[in-house]
Amino acid sequence: MARPSQCIFVRSSVLLAVLALFTLRITALEEGACERPHPPPTPTPTMCSKAFIGKPAPDFSADAVVDSDFKTVKLSDYKGKYVILFFYPLDFTFVCPTEIIAFSERAHEFEKIGAQLLACSTDSKFSHLAWIQQPRKQGGLGEMKIPVLADTNHQISRDYGVLIEEAGIAFRGLFIIDPKGVLRQITINDLPVGRSVDETLRLVQAFQYTDKHGEVCPANWQPGKATIKPGVKESQEYFEGANH
């Protein structure tokens, strides 16, 4: 059995070794910092999200550009409809106009199924309007068929958990909210990659089908394709047909 003095000696030795390694590490980092530039900080989303699947979507009210005019838009304005709220980082950028234009040009397809598209960034309504007035050949948005919200105080982005606090911009978050105001789907992309209008439309159609019929939609489901009756015995009809 080790004596108390021996235990103290071992612990002291370990502590000294750890401190020595820590000192060497700090020194190496400081020396390296002088030789190479600092890497850009990794953006981190806010940790104050109030957006959860199956829970009421955070309500909001914001200035927006609607039909080239300034209006106030509230989530409650669209009660009884599906709402697709999608965030983008910044006006006058590169991936963003491709997404917003793609959604805007197919707004009529969402309207036909009782769904409303809303775009949102932390830019001001004046920035939005200037970007809308810029021709598409110059990177502008041109005519918009969907509202573009101005989250200038960052509250909407923060509530939905997409705000990059240190940069004051939002990740590419997309939220599908049902007619009862409940969040049904959340996706958040990193900044470099845009989203799919086709997939967004498919998801809304799938949720609408399950809401109406009570059956569930398998992978890659499209309107008119087979669905599954949620039950051990009932589901066999689908599996037998899909795996013949």
Domains of the chain in start order, with CATH, are 61-194 (3.40.30.10)
Catalytic machinery residues: 96
Q: Given a cut of 70, is residue 215 above it in pLDDT?
A: yes
* pLDDT interval class at 15 (50, 70, 90): very low
Q: Given a cut of 90, is residue 221 above it in pLDDT?
A: yes
Task: Give, in order, the Cα–Cα distances in Å from 24 to each of 16, 28, 43.
Answer: 12, 6, 28
What pLDDT is attached to residue 30? 34
DSSP 216: B
For residue range 144-166, list pLDDT tens digits in order. Answer: 999 999 999 999 999 999 999 99
Q: Given a cut of 90, is residue 53 above it in pLDDT?
A: yes
For residue range 92-102, list pLDDT tens digits in order. Answer: 999 999 999 99
Q: Decide if 61 contacts 150 (C-beta within 8 A).
A: no
